[in-house]
Structure 1
C-alpha cells in the first residue's frame, strides 16, 4: 500500500514538473528573449528583455477599452522575467544621477507620458509587482506616437548629441530616455 502511495506521489510530482517546464518553454517562445547592448565612449548599457507581440490586441489604453497594459498600471517593460538594465559607470538617466550597477526597470504607461522607474530588486519574475520601497529613481518621459505600428516589443539605442537614447517601441507608442555619462 505504501509503495503504491509513493509511486502515485512520484508520478504526480513528475507531471507537475513537466507541466511547469512546458509552460515556461511555451511562454518563452511566445515572447522570445532579446538583448541590446550599447558600448561606446566608455559607456556600456545592457538590457536583456523579452519581446511580446501585439497580435491584434489593444496594447495601451484604458481598462474599460480592454487594453493589455492599462494606463496607470505597472508594466515590466517586456514579458517573462522582469527587465533589467546595467550601466558600467555612473550615468544621468533622463537627467537624474544613477550609480553604476544593475537595476530592474519598469514603467507605468500613460496616455501622454510614461513614468519610468529604476528599482534595486533583481532576479524576480516580471509579472509580480516590485517592492516599491526599493525604487531608486522615478522619471517621466513623453509618449511619441508612431505612424507605423511595431508588432513586437523592441528596445534599441539611438545616438543623440551628448547622450544615447534608450528607445522602447510597441504598437504605436515610443518612449525615449536619454542616458549620458555623469
Structure 2
C-alpha cells in the first residue's frame, strides 16, 4: 500500500511540475511600466508621493497623435497612471487628502489641465468619468531643447516640497506639490 501511495504522489508531482513549467509568459511590454517617487533618495524610507505609469514611445509619431490637444489623455500608456499621496498635500493649489488617485491630463497649446480622479484601475481614458474628479489643475506648457523619445515622469525638489514633472518630445509640464 505504501508503494502505491508513493507512486501516486510521484505521478501527481510530475503532472503538477509539467503544468507549471508549461506556463506561457508574455514578452516585454511595448510601453513598459515605470515608477517615480519623492523623495527620490533611496535612504529615505518614508515616501510622500509615488506614481506608477506606462511609458509610450514616439517611434516616429508626433506627440499630438498619441496625446491629442484638447482631449482627455491617460497620461502615459495602457492603464491610467495611479498616484499615491502618503500624506495630505497641496497639489497645484488644491488640497488633496492622502490616498491613491488616477491621473489624467488634457494637453493644450499654452497650458495643460492635470486631473486627479478617484476611480482606479482604468484602462486608458475610455471610461474616464469627470464626475469622479477630485481636482483639476491648470499648469503652463513648457518646453526644452532636448527631445525625449519616451514619455517620462520625475519629481524635482522645489521650495516646500516637489514638482511632478512630465516630459515627452520637447514638452515639459510641472505641477507643484507642497507638503
Using structure 2 for the length normalisation, give the TM-score. Answer: 0.79
Q: Which ranges of 4 or more aligned residues in structure 1 deviate by more than 6 Å?
A: none
Unaligned segments of structure 1, at least 5 residues: 1-20, 61-66
**Larger strand percent:** 1
Residue matched to 1:32: 32
Unaligned segments of structure 2, at least 5 residues: 1-23
Residues 130-153 of structure 1, C-alpha deviations (whole Å, 9 max, x = no match): 111101111100011110110001
Q: Structure 1 residues 93 and 120 mapped into 2: Cα distance closer, same or farther (>3 Å)?
A: same
Residues 10-64 of structure 1, C-alpha deviations (whole Å, 9 max, x = no match): xxxxxxxxxxx99xx46x621011011113696510100010101111103xxxx
1:1-150 matches, within 5 Å, as 25=26, 29-39=29-39, 44-60=48-64, 67-150=65-148
Deviation at 1:68, TM superposition (A): 2.6
Residue matched to 2:20: none
Query: Quick check: 1:76–1:82 contact (8 Å CA) kept in 2?
Result: yes
Q: d(CA) in 2 for partners of 1:148 and 1:102?
A: 32
Residue matched to 1:4: none
Q: d(CA) in 1 for partners of 2:32 and 2:97?
A: 30
Q: Which has the larger radius of gyration?
A: 2
Query: Quick check: 1:70–1:109 contact (8 Å CA) kept in 2?
Result: yes
Q: Structure 1 residues 129 and 113 mapped into 2: Cα distance closer, same or farther (>3 Å)?
A: farther
Residue matched to 1:176: 174
Q: Structure 1 residues 154 and 133 mapped into 2: Cα distance closer, same or farther (>3 Å)?
A: same
Matched pairs, number: 153
Q: d(CA) in 2 for partners of 1:84 and 1:42?
A: 18
Q: Structure 1 residues 96 and 166 mapped into 2: Cα distance closer, same or farther (>3 Å)?
A: same
Query: Quick check: 1:80–1:127 contact (8 Å CA) kept in 2?
Result: no
